[in-house]
Structure 1
Amino acid sequence: MEVRTPWQALTRPLAYPRSVWPWRSAGYLASSVVTGLPALVVLAVLVLFSVLLVGLPLLLLAGVALGGVERRRLRIAEVAPAADPHRVPDVPGLGAWLRVRAREQATWRELAYAVLHATVLWPLDLLAIAVCLGLPAALLSAPVRLALDRQETKVVKAYLVTSYPQAFAAALLGAVLLLALLYPLAALAGARAALTRALLAPRETELRDRIGEVTRSRARLVDAFEAERRRIERDLHDGAQQRLVALTMTLGLARLDAPPGSPLGDQLAKAHDEAGQVLTELRELIHGIHPQVLADFGLGAALADAADRSAVPVDTDLDLPRLPTAIESAAYFAGCEALANIGKHSGATKARLTARYDPGPARLTLLVQDDGRGGADPDRGSGLTGLADRIAVLDGTLTISSPSGGPTLIRVEIPCPPPSA
């Protein structure tokens, strides 16, 4: 098992003194002075300004800044990085950043940590370094100090050494004491790092980051799936479809050359008709994989085309810019599936298709309504369950209102970034 913290290093007591963890523990505690002393000075100045109601925002900023430094410094004591608990503002600008930071619990935890670190923690860390390393170092230096003084020297300002046997005995005691004190030093460094992580990088932050990474990887899978769909559509269009067209033309020419009414002519006519049907089915398949109108002209034109091909008359109200490919594809197939269900199951005489992009919440809304008999149930295999899963991948929702007797209303909402120019 990889050792990732000082506490884990202490579970191997014999290997611990020979590892890097004594040095990492000492470095972490010693570097506390580098951030704690300046933090004390800055907080003292800002507290004076806060009397005039000027320093409170600056205090928050100081806490955020120190929190970022301390999370980086935590890498000295622990292998695992500390996650940033702050979220990115939805809109750019200093004002939006300040508003988000002021509402976050992490900002106030960082301010509390800054006060605690500046007033209590770094003096305790310095005291631990002085006891665990300074005292053994003073004993170890006894022979050197006696050689420099040539007569006598005091060790730890209390023990008078006048001879080299005494000096070497003090040095031996210092070596033993150093080895013994390395263990509590690591325990203190581990506790100190655990406190820092609890205040500045709590577990919910790490969980949020993992969820964010899962969401990003899911979005990458959606993009890859859409790219693969388009590749298959292109290969079928440029490969198999062209070959079928050539085959159909060849069979048609052979049919013209065959004697009328002969068995060969009949077989060629049958083969020509079959090839034409296969070509028609292939074109429908290609259109279902990724229609060219969707790629060329966007979601609005593709939905209008789907409404024109619907078995039930459809009134359309479409006002859409170009949107990301995955979102356009999901919304298009949601609309197509809803229109197909109207034609197959609803008994409706007319339908209405509405699509809007709202830049305020950055959301695409698609509404499909009919005047049919209602009673739509996704559990009966209408394809709506699969659509709901596909839309959920994009953090969208699919809502169905279909009371018995109608009407049926399908609402699709998909969050999406503002479209580029």
Structure 2
Amino acid sequence: MHVGAALLRPGYPFSSWPWRALAYLATTVPVAGVLSAGMLIVGAPLIAAVNAVRQQGRPISLPLALFLTVGALTMVALAPLVSVAVCAVERWRLGIVDARPLPRPPWRGVWARYTTAAAWREVAYTVWLGSVVPVAYWIFALITLLDLMLVASPWTAGHADGVVVWWTTIDTPRQAVPYAILGGLLAPLLWYGVGALAAAQGAMARWLLDQPVDGAALREVTRSRARLVDAYESERRRIERDVHDGAQPRLTSLALQLSLARLDVPEESPAAKPLAVAHEQAKGLMVMLRQIVHGIRPQSLTDLGLAGAVRELANEATIPVTVHADVERPLPELIETTAYFVVSESLGNVARHARATRAQVRLVAEPGRLVVEVSDDGRGGADPALGSGLTGLADRVAAAGGRLLLASPPGGPTLVRVELPCRP
């Protein structure tokens, strides 16, 4: 939670967040003040020299030029080192208005303070804190002072020759009453202004002080995940082929031999009962093995394609399921398999949890992607945090390079939408 999100909540003015924002701004003043004073040592003479050149045309004197040059070089040389302490304090202070952790980068030596992008991002934040932040605070303080003047105008108008409020002069307390009312109405906006100013400063701190994502490392992680998925799919197909072509025919032959042996053994024989038990176990093992092969890659997906296999799932569902399929071009095997299991798992969740009376499956092959939608008219309230089914499904979709979107308000309906990349 952070002050930016708290600003959008109805109870913000009565929560602790405005006070936390005020504490954050108050503790910023000494830090920004010291930085601003240090920058003015060089900045003020530089501005004065530039104005003299522009207005009077006089060249900058040699001592002043030397002072400005040495001062600027000194500031540039010291900024990466000074920013270490400043940003360490700022990371700690950010916790006042932002509960999200902001890790501190490890110390990599003095040379790294001048050669790494992260160090110069800290320098940029330090400069911003000593230059832009004081100006923003002065503007906000001026607005606050003007509002206080409006509120206090009925009491000050009677004890002075005239009180100037914006564009008019107030001579009597009665004339000041409307302005006091306006100031009272604007006061709550200042309370929000405190939070907005703290949120803006905190967002800048997080943007400049957070560690940037390594794009090259992220691309390598994506490529390695794709390689792992491809290797997994290849191994999965090999296991399916070995089970289907090797173990399953042998088990079928064993069950057939046991069936023939039962015909040759009299029922009163001591071997009849163990033989019957062995025959039933062999048939049960055949069913289990068929289910295992079906779980690796359903045979209906190979024989009928994605649309046909999904219609077969719909026919086996315990509630009426309507299928709308617009998939004409062939799809990659990984995408087909992922889409099939999305529909299978979603319909299974509908049957187990949704208390729905009907469901609908939609398959659309759009340019560059396959969209799978499963909706129902059940009670809704599906939450990935309450079970591993939706989380596992989202992980499976992510492994294929897609994304899963869930809409399930309490009372329903529920919609599961999956978008899978599908290059032509």
TM interval, shorter chain, is: 0.3 to 0.5
TM-score by length of 1: 0.48
The normalised TM-score by structure 2 is 0.47
